[in-house]
Amino acid sequence: MTEATLELDQYLCFAIHSAAQAVGRANKKLLDKLGLTYPQFLVMLVLWTEDGLTVGQIGDRLFLESNTLTPLLKRLQAAGIITRCRCTEDERQVRIHLTEQGRALREVARGIKPEWLERAFGGNKEEVAALRHKITLLRDELLAAEDA
C-alpha cells in the first residue's frame, strides 16, 4: 500500500479551486463594467434565462443555499436590478424579477467577452466545450456520490 501524498500541487481539488480563483480574478475587470460581483453575475445569468424564479429555484440552479443568496439578492434589489416579492400562492417563497435596469444589463453583458479564454484556448471552442463538459461530469458524479 502506498502512502497518499500530502503535496498541495498533487491534489485535483486544489487545482480546481485555484483555477476557479484565477478565473474570478480574470473576470473581475469585466464584471466591474457591469457593476456586479461574480456571485451576482451568476444570479443574473439565471434570471436572464428565466425571469420570475423563486429564491429556492435560483439556489438549486446555482447549488447555493437561500441563506447565502438572500443578502446577495438584497444588494441586487438595492441597486435597482431586481425586485423581490412574496409569492401570493405560498408566502414562504420569494419570487425574483428583473427590473428594466436588470434587463438592460443583459445587453451590456452580451457585448463583454473574456480575453483570457482566447489566450488560454486560442479560440478553440471545442476544447472549451470539452473541458466544461468534463468539469460538469465531475460535479455531477460528486453530487451523485453525496446522495448515495
pLDDT digits (tens, 9 = 90+) for 36-92: 999 999 999 999 999 999 999 999 999 999 899 999 999 999 999 999 999 888 888
Phi, psi of 95 (to 5 degrees): -100, 140
Sign of CA dihedral 98, 99, 102, 107: positive
| Global confidence as pTM | 0.88
On the 0-12 / 13-18 / 19+ scale of CB atoms within 10 A, 129 is exposed
What digits encode the pLDDT tens for the residues 19-40?
999 999 999 989 999 999 999 9
Instruction: Please state the separation of Cα 34 from the chain's center in Å.
Output: 15
Give the integer Cα–Cα distance in Å for 37 and 35: 7
